[in-house]
Amino acid sequence: MEWKRDWGLTARVWLTGLLLLLLYLVFMTVLLAYGVGMWVIVVLAVGMGLIQYFFSDKMVLWTTGARIIGKDEEPDLHRMVEKLCQEAGLPMPKIAIMHSPVPNAFATGRSPKHAVVACTDSIMRLLNRDELEAVLAHELSHVKNRDILTMTLASFIAMIASMIMQSFLFSMLFGGNNRENGGAGIIIWIVSIIVYAMSTLLILALSRYREFAADRGSALITRNPRALISALNKISGRIEAVPSEAKAKIEGANAFFIIPALSGNSIMELLSTHPPLDKRIANLEKIESELRGY
């Protein structure tokens, strides 16, 4: 299989990463200018990032209630993933099943050698074989593209800004504030809020681009983008019919799912971790034309 890049999408990913880097440098310059002791904050942020990187798979499995299964429990599913891994040039990941009425799937893990691909029991009943293959290929594309590492690095500046915001509020509530440092502290707090908001928007944009890239990867692995279009439509339609209580139980893991399970009203596109369904389908139809050579 030839892994063809979408250079327009790749450029948007790199541009978003560059903007995050520039935002980080500006933020560090402001903090240093006001004499903020950065070592403690950076060490804490790095520590949180390492925990997220090395233990993200265990944390996601724990929060979703997904369970690692052996080949003897779901032999067909294992064979399907094994075949897709051969097509994608990936090592075999661990496979997990999640009991939920919300049809969905996700991938996690810090690298292809430490990956977990999970799906709900309801999605296995909902989709036919080609559609399920397309969904699993989407998740394996996240693994191949090392999206856990990408998003962990991208969230670094947001973690620093969040820590400064919280430490300032804590010092105001419990440590008091003197005239000498009060003005500088307020400026740093305001800058931190702005940086946190801007970095969050950039991270969400990056997340949406990664979903487009994973959709493209699925189409290239299976050579069947129409199957993923069908799967996305089925999943979206079924999620709308699932009670809000069931969706709320797994809402915390929405960033990992192929389609987020929102328990409330639809949120603004700008604040979503995933692109709108119609844009994903339009992009897959474009890829389908590319594969057909016209």
| Residues tagged active-site | 139
Other Cβ atoms within 10 Å of 266 Cβ, number: 9
Residue 280, CB-side half-sphere exposure with 13 Å CA sphere: 30
Beta strands in 34-165 (DSSP E): 67-69, 94-98, 105-108, 116-120
Torsion of CA 276, 281, 286, 287, to 10 degrees: 110
Q: Whole-angstrom Cα distance, residue 195 to residue 157?
A: 8
Q: Whole-angstrom Cα distance, residue 79 to residue 76?
A: 5
| CB-based contact 134:218 (threshold 8 Å) | yes
CA distance between the termini of the chain = 19
| Structure tokens belonging to residue 67 | 């369970």
What phi and psi, each to the nearest 5 degrees, are found at residue 49? -65, -40
Question: Residue 16: exposed, middle, or buried by beta-carbon count in 10 A (0-12, 13-18, 19+)?
Answer: buried
Q: CA Rg, the chain, in Å?
A: 21
| CB-based contact 265:196 (threshold 8 Å) | no
Taking CA atoms, 9 is separated from 4, 14, 137, 217, 291, in Å, by: 12, 9, 19, 12, 17
Q: Whole-angstrom Cα distance, residue 206 to residue 16?
A: 6
